Amino acid sequence: MTAKIEAKNLVKIYGENTDKALELFNQGLSRSEIIQETGLTVGVAGVNFEIAEGEIFVIIGLSGSGKSTLLRCINGLLMPTSGSLLVDGKAVEKLNEEQLRKLRGEEISMVFQHFALLPNRTITDNVAFGLELRGVPY
């Protein structure tokens, strides 16, 4: 079965001039050693996975472990430092702004940790609000 979403050795390092930090990561240094050496933070460290269409896939981890960073890479809000991320066989990091907007609007959604519900709507109506905006019946 073809993967709907696929990550291959996905790495996201925060900061500028990430080459040195990436080199240290590839040499096997820990996150704390990399931040001590470069001042840069490894947000996602060599993640690999495949998600089939319709599959339920759960990302679990402690606060600060990179869950939100990973999701932001998947939907193109952040670009990975290295590795590849494919959605429907297309490399997210190679999409232009229009293609990224389409990806976010039609393919991938994200509910932020500190979100706001519309108080006059039910939970179902809040969740389906994005579909409603696009004219998709639910």
Tell me, yes or no, whether 126 lies in a domain.
Answer: no
- List pLDDT tens digits, range 11-37: 999 999 999 999 999 999 999 999 999
Whether 128 is covered by a domain: the verdict is no
What is the number of domains present in the chain?
A: 1
Q: CATH number of the domain at 56, please.
A: 3.40.50.300
Q: For residues 117 and 62, which has the higher predicted lDDT (pLDDT)?
A: 62
- C-alpha 55/C-alpha 53 separation (Å) is 6
pTM, 2 dp: 0.78
Residue 51 forms part of a structural domain? yes
With bands split at pLDDT 50, 70 and 90, how would you rate the model's confidence at 106?
confident
The encoded tokens of residue 69 equal: 């960073």
Kind and range of the H or E element at 67? helix 67-74
User: Within a domain: residue 112?
Assistant: no
In this structure, are residues 15 and 9 in contact, taking their beta carbons and an 8 Å threshold?
no
CA distance 81 to 42: 10
Q: Provide the domain limits for residue 88.
A: 3-107
Q: Which residue has the higher pLDDT, 58 or 1?
A: 58
Q: Identify whether 16 is part of a domain.
A: yes
* Cα gap 105→98, rounded to integer Å: 10
